[in-house]
Structure 1
Amino acid sequence: MKASDFFALPASLAPFAAFFHPDVAPWEWLKQIGPALAGLTIEPGTPRVPAGVHLEGRVWIHPSVKLPPYATIIGPVWIGANTEIRPGAFIRNNVIVGEGAVLGNACEFKNCLLMDGVQVPHFNYVGDSILGNRAHFGAGVICSNLRLDQQPIVIRTADATYDTGLRKFGAILGDKAEVGCNAVLNPGTLLGPRALVTPAIAIGGYIPAATIAHARHTVKLIPRRD
């Protein structure tokens, strides 16, 4: 299982390419978010910041980013071009965002990598997670990132078992994966490219590409042209 099975790092995040290798397990990228930001040599910069937006630490915000009347951003954080941040967003500690993303109202982001076109628009928690290009969360989707027994996260598929070595690990979504409103992704959930999760369920494990995940079963999607 490799990161390239789920997504490709977009050109907008080229400054970080040395830290995110396509041939390693995708959860290894989580361990590289902090070092990638720590190694960044570009000086922090921001557009004009509204009075109600609190910035703290090293924060890089492209001038084209749309900032709300109020939000909290605690670095290190990198936010790419044409991204929209909506009111009440809480962005903290090792967050990298590509171009054209939406970080929604009353959403919290912590130690995560969001690629181009990601939409997390309403009342979501994204912690210790990676969202591939054009991945989408419905309102109220939560990435649960800690087991109740606080043990390291283990990934089990039909073919293998992987010990991630991570105590905190939310979800990994491949390109164009989508999750319906009010779903909970249990710690260590992996969604392949274009995998879909139906609303209002709790789900975990590995959902293969182009598959719809229901509460009790999965259904293979019919391929479509984009």
Structure 2
Amino acid sequence: MKKCEIHQLYNLEETIAADIFKGVTYPWEVLPKIKDFIVELGNTLDVSVYEKRGENIWVAKSAKVAETAFLNGPLIIDEGAEVRHCAFIRGNAIVGKNCVVGNSTELKNVILFNSVQVPHYNYVGDSILGHKSHMGAGSITSNVKSDKTLVVVKDGKEEIKTGLKKFGAMLGDYVEVGCNSVLNPGTVIGAHTNVYPLSMVRGVVADHSIYKNRNEVVQKNE
């Protein structure tokens, strides 16, 4: 399933976490590694650029973090990022350069590449969001199946068993997710794809496409 491979989805030059992807094929393989990776990376960060704000919490001095935001480690907030009023970062999170984490947005076990925007009432859990991807207001990643079985990534008749109980969504670079959409467990959205508002997305969505509903996905005219 080549369209789900890391190099098809992400520009690894746009994240401080590039090394976590070494030696793996699919991005969801790194989800169980995020916690330990942050602790290891955080202890190597330049103290002239980052300050330590608590146990395993590193925040770039140029980042803007609202006093009302909740930060739990392990956590790295990179340069120029903005964490707004009442954001809830539960831990195991890497917030890339110039990202926006908005009011009442919740993050848990995630990697946000540089310039990602999750600005309004978003839940992002057990997910990886590529460079300049954006989740519209109220859109969320659902990270556990209702029957609690392990997540399987499906693309037509092709399937990959992930072995993961918790797996939200993999968003490629420049993905736009419309307001109030739900990305079901195991969703993979290719780079430069747009998802219509109020969508329920499941499985693999091709890059450079427009997702209108599960039966209508059209290629962009570029």
Provide the TM-score with structure 2 as the length reference: 0.90
Whether the 8 Å contact between 1:174 and 1:194 is mirrored in structure 2 is yes
Mark the CA change 1:68 to 1:137 in structure 2 (over 3 Å): closer, same or farther: same
What is the 5 A alignment of 1:157-176? Answer: 157-158=155-156, 160-176=158-174
Structure 2 residue aligned with 1:50: none
Q: Secondary structure of the residue that 1:46 maps to in structure 2?
A: strand
Is there any run of 5+ residues in structure 2 with no aligned partner, and where?
none
Whether the 8 Å contact between 1:10 and 1:115 is mirrored in structure 2 is no
Q: Alpha-carbon deviation of 1:22?
A: 7.1
The reply to whether residue 5 of structure 1 matches residue 8 of structure 2 is yes
Q: Secondary structure of the residue that 1:39 maps to in structure 2?
A: helix
The reply to whether residue 74 of structure 1 matches residue 72 of structure 2 is yes
Q: Greater CA deviation, 111-120 or 31-40? A: 31-40
Q: Secondary structure of the residue that 1:19 maps to in structure 2?
A: helix
What is the 5 A alignment of 1:48-87? Answer: 57-87=55-85
Whether the 8 Å contact between 1:57 and 1:76 is mirrored in structure 2 is yes
2:122 aligned residue (105, 121, 124): 124
Structure 1 residue aligned with 2:216: 217
Structure 2 residue aligned with 1:52: none
Q: Secondary structure of the residue that 2:65 maps to in structure 1?
A: coil
Match of 1:31, as an amino acid? P
Structure 2 residue aligned with 1:46: 51
Whole-Å separation in 2 of the counterparts to 1:56 and 1:90: 16
Match of 2:154, as an amino acid? R
Structure 2 residue aligned with 1:196: 194
Provide the TM-score with structure 1 as the length reference: 0.89
Q: Greater CA deviation, 75-84 or 36-45? A: 36-45
Whether the 8 Å contact between 2:134 and 2:176 is mirrored in structure 1 is yes
Q: Secondary structure of the residue that 2:167 maps to in structure 1?
A: coil
What value does the CA root-mean-square deviation take over the aligned residues? 1.8
Whole-Å separation in 2 of the counterparts to 1:57 and 1:123: 27
1:114 aligned residue (112, 115, 119): 112
Q: Alpha-carbon deviation of 1:46?
A: 3.2
Match of 1:72, as an amino acid? F
Q: Greater CA deviation, 162-171 or 195-204? A: 195-204
Structure 2 residue aligned with 1:31: 32
Is there any run of 5+ residues in structure 1 with no aligned partner, and where?
48-54
Match of 1:29, as an amino acid? V
Mark the CA change 1:104 to 1:153 in structure 2 (over 3 Å): closer, same or farther: same
Q: Secondary structure of the residue that 1:33 maps to in structure 2?
A: helix
Structure 2 residue aligned with 1:51: none
Q: Alpha-carbon deviation of 1:194?
A: 0.7
